[in-house]
Amino acid sequence: MQRTRAELEAMSHEDLVSRVLELQEMLREGLAVRASLHAVLNTVLNAKSEEVARYAEAPDATLDPEELELKRAWAAARHAVSNPLGAARKRAQSAQGAER
């Protein structure tokens, strides 16, 4: 639950410490989930390495719409594995562009 600055300032020291410990645990759990997803995605990319490479090397003009979509999906997956923070920023920028 998010609290305003005023609400946080009104909390006792003990409550603040408890809240920080809760947030640390949530962060640890989130990082563990991210690491698990990263491992699974890497495994999928390795298992499909021939398909991934074929789409990566194929010129866009030679692909039908479905194949082009697959090429973009594999590229996004490779980007997520190699640079998760960059992929997250790119996704956030794309979402901001779509809102405008």
pTM, rounded to two decimals: 0.63
Domain match, 64 and 36 both: no
Domain match, 61 and 99 both: yes
d(CA 79, CA 49) in angstroms, rounded, equals: 14
d(CA 95, CA 100) in angstroms, rounded, equals: 9
- How many domains is the chain built from? 2
Asked if 23 contacts 15 with a C-beta cutoff of 8 angstroms, the reply is no
Q: Which domain holds residue 22?
A: 1-40
Asked if residue 22 has pLDDT above 70, the reply is yes
Structural tokens at position 56? 């990566």
Domain match, 68 and 87 both: yes
Domain match, 9 and 53 both: no
Q: What are the tens digits of pLDDT across the range 46-91?
A: 999 999 999 999 999 999 999 999 999 999 999 888 887 787 788 7
